[in-house]
Amino acid sequence: MKNIIKILFLLLVSISFSSCAEAEELLDVKFNSELSADLNVVVPAEGLRKSAEMLATSFSEQATINPRADANIEKYFDMLKSFDVTGVTGTVKTVSAPVKIVTGTISIIEGAKTASWNITNFDVVNGASVTLDNSAGQWDTINQILDGKRTFTAKIEGTVDRSDVSFTISVLIKMRVVANPL
């Protein structure tokens, strides 16, 4: 009787795990993660331009994002299987005076890989947010960047409708991460 139970159990187990891939998936660790960078933009007063060619209303700022700064990503770093971006936003955290981004670009960059979004006529006020969608496959590019497991850059550049102003925009990347100890 014990042998029949063992055989039935082994049969059930072998049917349940019809492939190694399916068995491996059972051990997947899935978690949500967020990576962010604050872009601290300073548009100098007209008399404080760095060069004669620089327009007082032009700006460019960038910051590094290290995926290992996230505790869960760091914990499973050598076991990471995949990243799936679920959302990207840019949110104004601070602003020194009323200002509008006339034309601008927010980018996520690593080596030759770039995901970018154009923004126009965006009122920079505390709490204002812009959704950075996947309309041109930008999230797929960010997934590729994340798969490289290296630091990367968030950047904003463009023009505003006034000089002598500063503001901070936080770029937030939300994602679903899969790791596996095998």
pLDDT at position 126 is 97
98 pLDDT more than 70:
yes
Q: How confident is the model at residue 52 (pLDDT cuts 50, 70, 90)?
A: very low
Q: What is the pLDDT of residues 135-148, one digit of tens each?
A: 999 999 999 999 99
Q: Would you identify the CATH topology of the domain 29-179?
A: Jelly Rolls (2.60.120)
6 pLDDT more than 60:
no
Q: How confident is the model at residue 46 (pLDDT cuts 50, 70, 90)?
A: confident
Radius of gyration of the chain measured on its C-alpha atoms:
23
Q: Cβ atoms within 10 A of the Cβ of 76, count?
A: 18
Task: Parse the chain into domains and list their residue ranges.
Answer: 29-179
11 pLDDT more than 50:
no
121 pLDDT more than 50:
yes
Q: Mean of the per-residue pLDDT values for the chain?
A: 88
Rounded to an integer, the average pLDDT of 27-52 is 83
More confident of the two residues 22 and 25: 25
pLDDT at position 178 is 96
What's the whole-model pTM score?
0.83
More confident of the two residues 181 and 96: 96
111 pLDDT more than 90:
yes
Closest CA to 86 of 177, 7, 178: 177
For the chain, give the percent of residues with pLDDT over 70. 81
